[in-house]
Structures are given as structure tokens and as C-alpha cells.
Amino acid sequence: MRFVVREFDEASKSGEIFSSIGIGVKENDYLIFPSPLSNFIKREYKNKGKSINSQRNAAYAITRFLNHLSKDKVSYTELVIGGLSSLTLQHGADYISYLSLKSRAGELKSEYVKTEIQYLNKLFHWLNSESIISQSFSVDYQTVYHGRKSRKIVSNVFETTNDLDIIVPIRNSTQNNVIKDFGKNRNRLIIDFIMTAKRIEPLMALGIALQFFGGLRRSEVINLKRSSLKWTNSNLIVELRDNQDILFADAINKADIQVKYPRDQICICPEIVKPLYEEHLEMLTKLTKGTKGTKGTSEALFISTRNFNALRGKRYSAKIDKIKQQFLNDLLIKNQVEDYILLTNNKWSTHIGRGVFTNILIDLGLTPTQIALARGDRSLQSALSYVDENTLLSSMNLAIKNFNMLKEV
């Protein structure tokens, strides 16, 4: 099965013949079935006065994306079963990551990748507005200016959604970069970050530890129940399941609370983790004592102290941002200027924990395949991007060291 672009003639009410672009599903050499995606081209391009070339370019971009996914039936079995309704933002992010890696290898121009992202952004906003996909997400807007005139456009959903594993094309050096690690002082900074949380948002400290030492996404953390963490001797196994029907039964927008890949994940356990876990459960017990049978849930591992309901993704991020600001202020007070510059000159969010976890695994000597398994990835793309950049940096440092040794001889 392949998605194909077809040009066909249509007649207007006045009898005028004009060309249109459609998307079809090609089953074999003889059968092509129309796809509902033709409505996307019609409504977003044709009905808005876009040229036949604009319609054609958009259609080909969408078919390239879908055909890329259909090639890998093993990784995307849910699409084979559920079709278009099973498409998620992570599928788009996977494709963008694939193109970005080719761009970084010099096989594609970064501008080409950015154009493909624009098409995908428009596609997913349309799929969301038409309720064609099961995953829903909130729509953010940004204001663009043309001289004195301004208008609002939908933001790039692949930038505004925090939990996506995505590699983007390299941007201009004048723009802020999204960093994936805490740098050479990683271990100390992780502990400092956790201790800051213990001081000002104690119920968040365990969540941070799970992200940094287990590589969990934000949506995976907030989906945890108290029973989701299992200790086997000194090892912590995190049972990642989609518990949204239990913990978020009243939620309408579920884009930030979905667990994409249910699995059991092993968490690295330095000495700080188990006390954090025990302290967290103790705090939960005190907070939720006597709330059974009320609106608040006693099953969630991470809760709102206002209503005892499971913590939502945006609220989780807001608390992390509060901790982050205090953490950065403390770095400045302690005169840790180098760390402060790294963490203020670059963008990072809760998702940096996943990058830190990956780089810890790299330092432990795990192979890309082992890293992908430990991260819960279904492809090597994301893990390879960390390995490639880390290896390059190590090679450069080794070359500089060898050069300095030669100078001394």
C-alpha cells in the first residue's frame, strides 16, 4: 500500500473545467482508493486560493511522510491496525528526526526540512480540528507582523509540545539551542536540582529523579500510580502504563497525559532515589489521609495539593519552571558562573531529564541499541543523535589533548 498524488479535472457550477489535486491509497497496479486527506488539500489550499503547484507540493509532502511510516510496519503496527486515526504527533516527530539526521549528514538542506515541518504542522492542526486522529492537543497561536499589520497564526505544534522525542534541523548560531545535557558538571547539577525541588516543591523531587535517572517523559511521570514503582532488591522498575482513564477520567484534552509506549523501564538508582521515594509516599499518605471517596484520587503518584487530583502536564511543567528559576538563582549566588551561563543561554525544559539519562548511559558504555531499549525508543534515531554528538565531542577533545602533548615534546 502506498499513498499517491493524483491530478484530476473538476467542473465548476458554470461548467468551467479546472485542475485539482487529490491524495489516494494505491493498493496495487490497478486499484487506487480516494483518501480523506484530499479534503485537507481542498480546504487548506484549494479553497484558500492557493495555486495548483501549492496544492501539489503539499500533497507530495504529506504522501512522503505517510509512505515513510508505512515502510516500517514493525515499528508502527498501530497504524496498520488503526489507520489515520492512530496517527500521533510522535509519528510526525519521528519523521522530522529522520529528515533532520539526513540534513545534519549533508544529504538534505535544512531549509527543505523546515518546509516539510510546516506542511506537517498544518496537517496535524487540520487532523486535530476535524477529530480524525484520536490524540487531541491544544492549539497555541503566535502573532506575526507585516509592517504595521499583524495577524495570528497557529504555532508549530512540534515546538510547543514538550513530550516529543524529536531532532530538529540545525538552526542559525544566533538562535538559542535546546540542550540535552547538564554538561561536564552533570552529576552535581542533578543533585542540586533535586535538592532545590525538595526545598520549594517537595512533591516534585521524585518526578525529577525519575526523569533524570529513568529517562521518563513528562506524560509518563504523571501517569504513574502509587503501585507503578516496583523495587527488586536495589533496582527500581517503573511500570509505564496508560492510566489516563483512571487518573484523568474527566479530562477533555488528553494530549499531555498519554503514554505512547507502555513498557517496564529500569531506573538507575544512586543512593538518593530510594529515600526520595519513601519520603514521597510519606508525604502522599499525610496529604490524602481521609480523602478516600472524595473527588481527589488516592491512586496517583503525583497529585495537586489543591484538590488531590492527579497532576496534569501543564501544572507539572509550571512547578518545574518554578524550581528551575530558583535553581538558576542559586547557581548565581554560589558563583557557579560557567554552569549558570550554560543553563541560561540555552533552552531546556523537563524533557532535558531524558537527555541527561541518555548521556549517562553513553558514559556507561552502552551501545546505541542498548540505549534505545533503556529509553523505551522504538527506533535508534533518537539515541543515535546523542551518541553521534557525544562521540564527536570526545574525539575533538582527544585530538586537542594529543595536539597539546605534541607541543610539549
For the chain, what is the HEC assignment?
CEEEEEEEEEECCCCCEEEEEEEEEECCCCCEEECCHHHHHHHHHHCCCCCHHHHHHHHHHHHHHHHHHHHCCCCCHHHHHHHHHHCCHHHHHHHHHHHHHHHHCCCCCHHHHHHHHHHHHHHHHHHHHCCCCCCCCCCCEEEEEECCEEEEEECCHHHHCCCCCCCCCCCCCCCCCECCCCHHHHHHHHHHHHHHHHHHCHHHHHHHHHHHHHCCCHHHHHCCEHHHEEEECCEEEEEECCCHHHHCCCCCCCCCCCCCCCEEEEECCCCCHHHHHHHHHHHHHHHHCCCCCCCCCCCECCECCCCCCECCHHHHHHHHHHHHHHHHHHHHHCCCHHHHHHHHCCECCCCHHHHHHHHHHHHCCCCHHHHHHHHCCCCCHHHHHHHHHHHHHHHHHHHHHHHHHHHHC
What pLDDT, on the 0 to 100 scale, is given for residue 10?
Answer: 76
Question: What CATH number does residue 243 fall under?
Answer: 1.10.443.10
Q: 279-303 pLDDT, tens per residue?
A: 999 999 998 876 555 555 669 999 9
Same domain, 204 and 255: yes
Same domain, 214 and 145: no
Residue spans of the chain under pLDDT 50: 172-176, 392, 395-396, 400, 407, 409
Can you give the residue range of the structural domain that contains 386?
183-396
Q: 350-409 pLDDT, tens per residue?
A: 889 998 999 999 888 888 888 888 888 877 766 666 665 555 455 445 554 555 555 454
406 domain residue, yes or no = no
Q: Which of 160, 195, 229 is the last residue of a domain?
A: 160
What pLDDT, on the 0 to 100 scale, is given for residue 295?
Answer: 53
Q: Which of 145, 160, 175 is the last residue of a domain?
A: 160
145 domain residue, yes or no = yes
How many structural domains are present in the chain?
Answer: 2
66 domain residue, yes or no = yes
Same domain, 155 and 255: no
